[in-house]
A and B are shown apart, each in its own frame.
Chain A
Amino acid sequence: MAAMTKKIMPASVIVALCWLGLMLLVAIFADQLRPASITALDLRARLVPPVLMGGSINHLLGTDELGRDVFSRLIASVQISLMIAMGATLIATVFGTTMGFLAAHFRGWVEQFVLMLIDFQASMPFLIVALAVLAFFGNDLKLFICLMGLYGWERHARIARGLAIAANAQGYAAAIRQLGATPLRVYLLHVLPNIASTLIVSATLSFPEVVLLESGLSFLGLGVQPPMTSLGNMVGYGREYLTRAPWILIAPSVTIVLSTLCVSLVGDWLRDRLDPTLS
């Protein structure tokens, strides 16, 4: 009886999807949506509060210490942060899953090598590695995204390896291989869809972490460089005006919290939807 009834999307997921959709639109159309340039200074209108706190309609979310429009900067920040977080999570998931599958397929010294890399990654504080790389190679957005992509790959690799070994040892993957399928077919068409739900949850966990890591590095001055701006960057600079002009920091903080929460909610719901036995 329950199998045939179509599952209704919970309200929280609808809200989360709407928010993420909005973020995506903002990121895509950032240049059109922005009312002012992110570097336009208005020194006569410094630290103007947002509309709701008694500010002017010219600056919806107020201005910062140099009189730059917080709303415009927020839109630009969403674009940069979303690009970094999505790119990095995608790289980490693809790279980690590939490594995990390679380890599970070849076993032997390949597996030992991958496990060694995993242990190396897990035992090194990532911030230190990031600092070293950025200090040596300078800062460039593409490099930064790739570097962030290294964050958390070991978790995906461990999950993919463990689940692939379990599938290989007994059960459907062994059965498909026995039917004469190539390893590529076994891993991409059978193992991957079966473990996708776990990987998606893992990816939704690392998405917020990448946002926070980017914020941390930007805060240290090693992430996104001014005049470019990111959510973490805005929080970092707004910190100094926490008592006098909290809106500089609140706007990006709320965006970070809402976006990461929505990603987690959607990920959790997706996992349930992708499992045919849970219907």
Chain B
Amino acid sequence: MTLLHAINLTRDYATRAGLFSRLQSVRAVDGVSLTLTPGRTLGLVGESGCGKSTTGRLVLGLEPPSSGEVRFADAAMPKPGSKQWRQLRARMQMVFQDPLGALDRRMTVAQLVHEPLVIHGMAAGPERTLLVAAAMDAAGIGPDLAPRHPHELSGGQRQRAVIARALVTNPDLLVCDEPVSALDVSIQAQVINRLVDVQQERGIAMLFISHDLKLVRQISHEVAVMYLGRIVEQGAPDAIFTDPLHPYTKALVSAIPSITRRSTPRIVLDGDPPNPANRPSGCAFHPRCREAVASCRVDTPALRPTADGRSVACHLVPSVTVSEAA
């Protein structure tokens, strides 16, 4: 049973490089397809600017895709800002990277958590108070923090307030965009554990966007690696992190810090990620790939299934046809 289907999402932005240069189109997300299932977490990893957050926004319907389609509970995503779209917000929520920025600093924690119920006209009177208390409890904020303002809270408490606000309408889908990257490591663990517990309790489908590979491995049921707007490898976290197939994933995995002496040498990528406005021909990764062959410069590899049930977009990885894999 799937909750959300994203089919071949593309998102273009128009930018201008200089005052007199022509408008050019930047493709932030290019042909991303993904599926979210209740109670399961899809981890989305990749370096800065690879389109992770844009994918998250497209999945939530916060902006319309340039092409492709998002289907939530077997219905097309309504137009952003429309009435149906607003009503749907109660079922899909987002947890932001910067909790202080995401909270109205003039409101107390209790008011902030109340707000979604008021917006959607859910529950009333004492029932509403109960829902708020339940959400705050689920996110791990004590009732003593209810009358505080966001600036009187610590970073972890603020993020928990954001999570409580996201949970109060009892959503089916949660998109977490780098929810703990602004917190220090000990607090990260607490917040993440809370999040995972609530997810399991309520059977929430989760898209977890992060650049922290260890964290993603720990909490995801499936991982997708993005490079320059495309998913280059997707599969079970253990398979991806122990035996990466795509050269980019190999480089990422080799960069995970380890306390034991590493068995494989670290792969250091040359250069910066390429400019999405000036995408390399063929496989976008080929200028930085040490295994690139002639065909990589010409043909863009498609995401194809491999023998162990993963999907990889690389010419060098042998693929199986769907019938063979099944």
Contacts and interface: CB of A to CB of B under 8 A. Distances in A.
Interface of A: 3, 170-172, 174-176, 178-183, 185, 190, 193-194, 276-277
B104 interface: yes
29 contacts: A3-B152, A170-B98, A172-B101, A172-B102, A172-B103, A172-B104, A174-B102, A175-B94, A175-B102, A175-B103, A178-B62, A178-B89, A178-B93, A178-B94, A179-B115, A179-B119, A179-B165, A180-B88, A180-B89, A180-B90, A180-B116, A181-B115, A182-B86, A194-B104, A194-B106, A276-B105, A276-B149, A277-B149, A277-B151
A62 B72 CA distance: 80
B30 to A, nearest CB: 24
Task: Name which of A171, A175, A176, A185 has the most chain B CB atoms within 10 A of its CB.
Answer: A175
Contacts of A181: 86, 115, 119
B226 interface: no
B105 A172 contact: yes
A3 B153 CA distance: 13
Given A3-B152, A171-B101, A178-B62, 8 more contacts: A170-B101, A172-B102, A175-B103, A179-B119, A180-B119, A180-B120, A276-B149, A276-B151
Interface string B179-197: 0000000000000000000
Interface residues of B, number: 27
Task: Name which of A171, A178, A194 has the most chain B CB atoms within 10 A of its CB.
Answer: A178
Nearest to A274: B106
B82 to A, nearest CB: 11
A180 B87 contact: yes
Nearest to A190: B104
B96 interface: yes
B2 to A, nearest CB: 23
A172 B161 CA distance: 13
B60 interface: yes
A22 B279 CA distance: 70
Task: Name which of A3, A180, A182, A193 has the most chain B CB atoms within 10 A of its CB.
Answer: A180
B96 A180 contact: no
Q: Which 8 pairs between the two chains have the least Cβ-Cβ distance?
A: A180-B89, A171-B101, A175-B102, A180-B86, A172-B104, A277-B151, A181-B119, A179-B116
Contacts of A174: 102
Interface in B21-55: none
Task: Name which of A3, A170, A171, A179 has the most chain B CB atoms within 10 A of its CB.
Answer: A179
A171 B115 contact: no
Nearest to B94: A178
A175 B96 contact: yes
Contacts of B86: 180-182
A271 to B, nearest CB: 14
Interface in B98-137: 98, 101-106, 115-116, 119-120
